[in-house]
Structure 1
Amino acid sequence: MSNEIATGLVHATCVTLNGFGVLIVGTSGSGKSQLGLALMGLGAELVGDDQLEIIAGNRCPIAMPAPNIQGIIEARNVGILNAKFAPQSAINLVVDLSQREPDRLPRQHKAVIAGHTLEIVFGRDIPNLHFAVYQWMQAGRRH
């Protein structure tokens, strides 16, 4: 199964760690900002929350914050928080909080962004997803 993600302005959250960017997508209220905040709490840096500009890069897609909301992230039931942010990041992994992974050890799922094929994690209802994604950002995933 392949998931196509549009370029241009998209409704998503993105964080980065040592040049490894994670694009978090999902329906409204699915927890995109919450996962972003959890990853930031572990050491990742915000790229953007709510609206991102996605463009084609040479080796991978690139995410940039929307200029009017850069450096802020929503914490549901708390408010809008200021954050240090990266002006852009490569996108190396996609997490889709709208889709549920049925398998304990899933096969690789793919997403296509700007002609680049990336791995996608179906993250709906995965307990402690932030720890697994953070570990992936640091050391990768065994296939």
Structure 2
Amino acid sequence: MSHIPVNHRLRPLYRALAVLIGLYLLIFGIIGAIQTADESFFSRGDTVVLGLKTNMAFSVLSIVMGVIVVLANLYGRNIDHFVDLGAGGLFMFVGVFGLIIIRSDLNKLNFSVATCVVSSLIGTALLTIGLYNRTGPPEQARQEEAIRVPGGKHPGHAAV
């Protein structure tokens, strides 16, 4: 089994941070959709929302991701764990991929360097949150904690 903490004592804080990230995405997307309503879907204009360039496509994707992250973290029950890990990895990938395509015709989401940096930061935060918000039965939590305690014995391994 992995060594991802189960029932971490700061889990409520991590879930709250994930909800705040989701709300940021949601607010960014809503404001962006309002400001880019008269532009084409994949416009490469100069519309800036909360310091980031955007277009209608990027705004809609931000709304969708914001809703997914907020709902998953409000629901919990390890759905938040998997959503945060997956969304974190996706945002990190998009941040790096955005830098690769930033000056090409493939930049359909109107990314700038700032957008790529923010995407990577959001990805790092969600990925870290996803590592610490897993839940499980108390027995599983005790087993995982025993691994981290000096002198703790892992089931199936000899004591060192």
Q: TM-score, normalised by structure 1?
A: 0.23
> Of Structure 1 and Structure 2, which has the larger fraction of its residues in strand?
1
**Which has more radius of gyration?**
2
Q: TM-score, normalised by structure 2?
A: 0.21
